[in-house]
Amino acid sequence: MFDIAIQSLRNRALTATLAVIAIAMSVALILSVDKIRRDARASFLQTVSGTDLIVGARSGSVQLLLYSVFRMGSATNNVSWESIEDLKSRKAVDWLVPLSLGDSHRGYRVLGTSQEYFQYYKYGNKRDLEFAQGSMFDDVFDAVLGSEVAKQLQYSLGQSIVVAHGTGSVGIVEHENQPFTVSGILAPTGTPVDQTVHVSLEGIEAMHVDWQSGMQVPGEGTDADTIRQMDLSPNAVTAALIGLKSRGSVFREQRAVNTYRQEPLLAILPGVAMQELWALVRVFENALLVVSSFVLLAGLVNLVSVLFAGLNERRREMAILRASGARPGHIFRLLCAESALLSAVGICIGVLVHYLVVGLVSVWAQARFGIDLSPTLPGMRDLLILLLVFMSGVAVGCLPAWRAYRQSVSDGMAQRL
């Protein structure tokens, strides 16, 4: 039966090829969309990895995550430096990286932090931050740029930049008396790090030497050399990233921070907060599934159209087979076999196209969006999708097969050559 089906498809190579292409493109698209959806979610949940707790002023877990990791929104309050030192001295704490936000440069957030940030901040599958050019800040007025900042503003090492007060796209008041010098440019990560200007905590304090109560003091301002001699220890920071010596103590330390008596603080688990945030944008994930499902449906409809169109042209062929002794059941199985062959070939080609596309765009996706699209062996979900496509292809092939089953021999013999 399959030999006859193969020979029949060879005689209708053009229409069969179109059906295979439709199935292949549908399979490639649905597999690629599903992989992008799953890997985008995994990359999103790993925007910050290797961090056990994020600590900030008491607010909401999503809000704390947004301004500390994604640089979106503002903190309700700051955390005093005394509390930061107290948390850092706890026996269970392995490292602590303070974060200070509140200023910007041409629409990009400025983050004040310590040199430990470049050592302990990780993203993706615990990947380290790497420098494309230069190195971390050593001087009070050094700045390290994210890759997107350097690219969009066309900055290079040694260039002077001026930070503005506030977080708007256009700085109302600029710290023009205390310009910073670009000392390093980070490699792309596909995370908010790329859109961030990094300076030291002392640099944040240095910018505000001539400020009081949020207002700039009139006058020429203090020169940079004098500022370098000052005590630039911060009084407060916005948040802190904490790594513990043992993951088993994470809930105990979280409870200790949330019940901290010196001031109201909130400690969140990054993974849990990421899950809460992802739940808010799940509608877009579902939209991708709907789009890919409609693409698959279009491919199956095209397969039915090809089989029905070919059936009308093959009425005499079916009648000759019947006259030669083929039963209606043989005709039914023949057309089902053709549909199965078209679906199987289309699925195989679609899988190859899927892996080809993933292999070609994986490096670009990692650099541009931080999505790890490296090719992997098909999982159970992928196999279920392929099985569903194959069964659907066979099922839709039963429609023209049933019609051929019910046709009489005389109906086909009545056709003119």
Q: What DSSP letter does each residue of 370-400 carry, written as one string?
A: ----------HHHHHHHHHHHHHHHHHHHHH
Task: Tell whether 149 and 109 lie within a shared domain.
Answer: yes
Task: Tell whether 316 and 349 lie within a shared domain.
Answer: yes
**Residue 274 in domain:** no
Distances (CA, A) of 364 to 74, 87, 142, 378: 32, 40, 30, 22
- Tens-digit pLDDT profile for residues 128-171: 999 999 999 999 999 999 999 999 999 999 999 988 876 655 44
- Please give the DSSP secondary-structure letter assigned to residue 187: P
**Residue 276 in domain:** no
Alpha helices, H only, 90-195: 117-120, 147-153
Q: Are 134 and 144 in contact (CB under 8 A)?
A: yes
**Residue 277 in domain:** no
**Residue 216 in domain:** yes
**Residue 64 in domain:** yes
Task: Tell whether 11 and 120 lie within a shared domain.
Answer: no
Task: Tell whether 315 and 366 lie within a shared domain.
Answer: yes
**Residue 275 in domain:** no
List the structure tokens of 341.
């062959």
Task: Tell whether 58 and 141 lie within a shared domain.
Answer: yes
Task: Tell whether 238 and 323 lie within a shared domain.
Answer: no
Boundary of a domain, candidates 268, 302, 322: 268
Q: Output the pLDDT for position 388.
A: 85
Please give the tally of structural domains in the chain: 2
**Residue 273 in domain:** no
Q: Give CA 104 to chain center in angstroms.
A: 25
Q: Output the pLDDT for position 413.
A: 46
Q: Give CA 355 to chain center in angstroms.
A: 18
Boundary of a domain, candidates 246, 268, 290: 268
**Residue 248 in domain:** yes
Element (H, E) at 108: strand 108-113
Q: Output the pLDDT for position 372.
A: 65
Residue ranges in the chain whose pLDDT is less than 70:
1-9, 11, 166-175, 210-221, 303, 306-331, 366-372, 400-401, 403-417
Q: Output the pLDDT for position 171.
A: 47
Task: Tell whether 182 and 258 lie within a shared domain.
Answer: yes
Q: Which domain holds residue 356?
A: 2-44+282-413
List the structure tokens of 178.
């205390």
Q: Output the pLDDT for position 410.
A: 47
Task: Tell whether 63 and 188 lie within a shared domain.
Answer: yes
pTM of the predicted structure, to 2 decimals: 0.72
Boundary of a domain, candidates 268, 296, 318: 268
Q: Amino acid identity, residue 179?
A: P
Cα–Cα distance, 184 to 137 (Å, whole number): 7
Nearest C-alpha neighbor of 304 from the set 339, 328, 271: 339
Task: Tell whether 118 and 238 lie within a shared domain.
Answer: yes
Q: Output the pLDDT for position 142.
A: 94
Cα–Cα distance, 69 to 48 (Å, whole number): 7
Task: Tell whether 199 and 333 lie within a shared domain.
Answer: no
Q: Output the pLDDT for position 323.
A: 58
Cα–Cα distance, 212 to 214 (Å, whole number): 5
> How many Cα atoms within 13 Å fall on the side-chain side of residue 139?
15
Total count of residues recorded for the chain: 417
Task: Tell whether 28 and 168 lie within a shared domain.
Answer: no
List the structure tokens of 48.
């910050």
Q: Are 136 and 199 in contact (CB under 8 A)?
A: no
Between the two ends of the chain, the Cα-to-Cα distance in Å is: 26
SS3 content of the chain, % helix, strand, coil (to 5): 55, 20, 30
- Residue carrying the six token digits 């905590």: 201
Task: Tell whether 103 and 250 lie within a shared domain.
Answer: yes
